[in-house]
Amino acid sequence: MNRSFAAAAVLLALPAAAAPPGTPNPEIAAIVADISAARIEATIRKLVSFGTRNSLSDTESGTRGIGAARRWIKAELERCARDSGGRLEVAFDDHLVEKAARIPKPTHIVNVVATLPGSQPESANRIYVISGHYDSMPSNPSDGEKDAPGANDDASGSAVSMELACVMSKHRFDATLVFMTVAGEEQGLFGSTGWAKAAREKNLDIAGMLDNDIVGNTKSAEGAVDRSRVRLFAEGVPARAALPDNVVAALRTSGENDVPTRQLARFIHEQAQRYVRDFAVQVIWRRDRYLRGGDHFPFLEQGYPAVRFTEPVEDWHHQHQDVRVEDGVQFGDLPQFVDFGYVANVARVNAAALAALALGPSAPQEVEMENLRLENDTTLRWKANPEPDVAGYRIVWRDTTASDWQQSKDVGNVTRFTLAGISKDNYNFGVQAYDRDGNVSMASYPRPYRPPVTAPAK
Ligand SMILES: [Zn+2]
């Protein structure tokens, strides 16, 4: 036996060393590399081929209308489910809407939902959702007859959801992933509202929701082209008269940019930088564009962290418009105005973020900033994570005026740590958990901890 062979044999016999936290994960890189622009193009063109996918359109035909479209989506996902060894579970999720401003008669709003259950018992109840809406509209949202190709709005987002369902279901994740295409968006977010309300009634732990809506056009109405970035809209403090207790607690120490939705956006931004080179995520601290809304709204309303991806520049000749030519200008949401390579990059960002979330641990719970005396140190404490593969915790911090984490310290597998000489008064802090493979969780913002006041002994 020569010496190098002996050394290799010794190495093989040892358990794999834990990867340092934040090390790029080769499995995530492989998932990102597997995303196909050609498959996404084929999906978008097939969805357009149903003529209209308006929620009020024909449901009986095998070739035209929303019924044919959703049966095709379900069949495609079932094909991917077979390739996943049957682990991907595909189902219709049907909500009967009696009547609404844009729904003249009782209508079944049917989502297509593909669920990939988490394989770690301690994480399987933690759920991440990705969604696009497969319904479409011509100029009039309640017209179920006219052509409404909806190539960009939102076959593009639906194709992202479906591509990720098929690519990611070949892998195993600790947490559960839900890949949705929803209906009734153009009538008032009915499909996503039905699902999100039911999730809250069951008190599901939706740890993050990613909405992809209008993610395929790269040329603005004025002709400017931008293929370099995608916008990510992330709400801060919800605009409500009565705020949840956890939000009020965060506001007391200026944690308004550290609510879970903002943490989710920060996390996605970081994963995109790591796994999708030459493509930027522009985080926008706003719920959505002016005058617009989307399927992340019902999730936010149920108190779940939820964000929206949208292309960088929009062209309204190709959104919510009857297909027609007027003064030499082509109107309508047609596939020739979709940049399929760009949609694939958006899918890659979503895949990197979802995989990192679902492979990694949950964000630490009960994170507290010790607030016992005047001092120039910072002491944080938190509850130990439940996952068996957690290897330790990372404290991150940034200037109160900065958007992204600037500094970090890996503190090992402890539940309390003091950063000596770093004043809690000067920064915003977070605590993350990391596992043995180096996957790092989203950050949790600390609430102030003061010991309970006890009556002096008599
Ligand atoms: Zn839309």
Cα 177 to ligand 1 centroid, rounded to whole Å:
22
- Count Cβ atoms below 10 Å from residue 207 Cβ, excluding itself: 23
* Token pair listed for 320: 């919510």
- 149 Cα–ligand 1 center, Å: 12
Q: Check if the beta carbon of residue 178 is closer than 8 Å to that of residue 125.
A: no
10 Å Cβ neighbour count for 286?
13
Distance (angstroms) between ligand 1 centre and the Cα of 366 equals 37
∠ CA 116-121-126, rounded to 5°: 60
Taking the mean position of all CA atoms in its chain, how far away is CA 167? 16
Given a cut of 70, the residues of the chain with pLDDT beneath it are 1-17, 457-458
List 370's β-bridge partners, or say none.
449
Distance 226 CA to ligand 1 centre (A): 20
**What residue has token string 């399927």?**
295
User: 408 has which bridge partners?
Assistant: 396
CA distance 172 to 175: 9
Q: How far is the CA of 124 from the centre of ligand 1 (A)?
A: 30
The helix (run of H) or strand (run of E) holding residue 191 is helix 190-201
Q: 260-275 and 26-33 are packed helices; what angle lies between their axes, rounded to 10 degrees?
A: 80
pLDDT on residue 16: 58
Q: Looking at residue 353, what is its pLDDT?
A: 98
Q: How far is the CA of 55 from the centre of ligand 1 (A)?
A: 13
Q: How far apart are the C-alpha atoms of 382 and 446, rounded to whole Å?
A: 9
Which residues sit with Cβ closer than 5 angstroms to ligand 1, an ion? 153-154, 213
- Whether omega for the bond prior to residue 154 falls within 30 degrees of 0, making it cis, is yes
**240 CA from centroid of ligand 1 (Å):** 25
Write out pLDDT tens, residues 242-283: 998 989 999 999 999 999 999 999 999 999 999 999 999 999
Please report how the helices 157-168 and 66-83 are oriented relative to each other, as an axis angle in degrees rounded to 10. 20
Q: How far is the CA of 75 from the centre of ligand 1 (A)?
A: 23
Beta strand 205-212 pairing with 306-310? parallel
What's residue 10's pLDDT?
47
Ligand 1 geometric centre to CA of 185 (Å): 7
Q: Using the mean position of ligand 1's atoms as its centre, give its distance from the Cα of residue 294 in Å.
A: 7
CA of 278 to the centre of ligand 1 (A): 26
Contacts of 177 (CB under 8 A, 6+ apart): 115, 116, 118, 127, 128, 129, 130, 168, 354, 358
| Structure tokens that stand for 317 in this block | 């000749």
Give residue 78 CA to ligand 1 midpoint distance, Å: 25
SS3 159: helix
Cα 133 to averaged position of ligand 1 atoms, centre (Å): 7
- Backbone angle region of 235, left / alpha / beta, with phi > 0 → left and psi within -120 to 50 → alpha: beta
pLDDT in tens, 421-449: 999 999 999 999 999 999 999 999 999 99
Tell me the CA–centroid distance for residue 212 and ligand 1, in Å: 9
Distance between Cα 102 and ligand 1 center (Å): 15
Ligand 1 midpoint to CA 154 (Å): 5
Whole-angstrom distance, CA of residue 196 vs CA of residue 120: 24
Distance 155 CA to ligand 1 centre (A): 9
Return the SS3 of 15. Answer: coil
Pull the structure tokens for residue 355.
């995989």
Residue 294's nearest CA partner among 215, 354, 198, 376 is 215
Rounded to the nearest angstrom, the distance between the alpha carbon of 214 and the centre of ligand 1 is: 6
Hey, what are 108's tokens? 């079944």
CA 213 to centroid of ligand 1, rounded, Å? 5
Q: How far is the CA of 397 from the centre of ligand 1 (A)?
A: 36
CA distances from 110 to 33, 297, 322 (A): 32, 18, 24
Q: Cα(195) to centroid of ligand 1, in Å?
A: 17
| Strands of 279-347, DSSP E | 280-284, 306-310, 324-326, 329-331
Cα–Cα distances (Å) from 147 to 56, 64, 315, in that order, read: 12, 10, 19
Beta-strand relationship, 378-381 and 368-370: antiparallel
What are 203's two structure tokens? 């008190």
